Amino acid sequence: MSSTTNPDPVPSAPAFIPLEANPELMTKLIHKLGVSPALALHDVYSLTDPDMLSFIPRPALALLLVFPITAVYESSRMAEDNTIDEYRGTGSQEPVVWWKQTIRNACGMMGLLHAVSNGPARNLIEQGSILDTLLQKSIPLAPRDRSVLLEKTPEIAAAHKEAASAGDTSPPDAQDDIDLHYVCFVKGNDGALWELDGRRKGPIRRGDLPENEDMLSERALSLGILKFLEREGGDLRFSAVALAGSLD
C-alpha cells in the first residue's frame, strides 16, 4: 500500500499515548523539552471573532489544529499528495524543519515539535536542551533519518508519556486507534505560511504572508485553518491552540 493511500505508521511501529489538546499540559511539555518560559500554548476559542482573538498574545508564532480524519479529509489529502513527490529536503537552508511521523499516536508531539522548531520560536530554545540537541542532530539529516533519530531519542518519549498521562481526561491506550489528528501552521524563514503534518509527504507551502502578519492574521487563517473548516462543513470536532508569548 502506498504512503499516499495509507500514510500512517505501520502497526508494529513504536506507539505513544495520544496527547490531549490541553494548553497547560502542552506548555509544560515544551518547557520540559527546552523551550523558554517566555512562550506558552493558548486556547483559540474563535477564529473569526476579534474580541475572542484579542485574549491571545501577539504575535502568534504557530497554530495547531486538532481535527477528525474523515473520509472527506482523506479524499482531499490523497488527491493533493498524488500530485507531489516525497520531501527530501535537508540542511539549514530549509525554510522549515519537518519530521515524518513514524510513531503511532504521536501527532500531538509532532505538532508541538513543528511549532517550536520553526520561525522565531526556534530562537527561544535553550542551548543544550533536549530539543536543541534533537534539532542540531536532525537538521543535516534526510527526513527518514530524522524519523529514526526521533524514535531513538528516549528523552522525547519520556517527556511525552509524562505529559500525556497527566491530562484532564483518562488517557487512551498507546495502541488505540484515534481518529483525531494534529496539524501545525507556521511562518517559515521564507516568509510563507507552511502546513506541517507528519502524515503528509512533506511540508506544504500554502502562500506568502506579509512581514507583519502572524498565524492569527486574516490572510494566514484564510490560507490555512479556515480551509479545513470550510471543507468539513458541519463537523464540530475541531479545536485550536496557538503558540505565543506567556501571560505569566
Catalytic residue of the set 107, 114, 160, 184? 107
Do 206 and 221 contact (CB within 8 A), yes or no? Answer: no
107 counts as catalytic: yes
Q: Write the DSSP assignment of the chain as a string of letters.
A: --TTT--SPPTTS-B-PPPP--HHHHHHHHHHHTB-TTEEEEEE--SS-HHHHTTS-SS--EEEEEEE--HHHHHHHHHHHTTSPPP---STT-SS------SBT-HHHHHHHHHHTSGGGGGGBPTTSHHHHHHHHHTTS-HHHHHHHHHT-HHHHHHHHHHHTTSSSPPPPTTS---EEEEEEEE-TTSEEEEE-TTSSS-EEEEE--TT--TTSHHHHHHTHHHHHHHHTT----EEEEEEE---
Catalytic residue of the set 42, 114, 160, 181? 181
Q: How far apart are alpha carbons 131 and 5 in whole angstroms?
A: 32
114 counts as catalytic: no
Residues marked active site are found at 107, 181
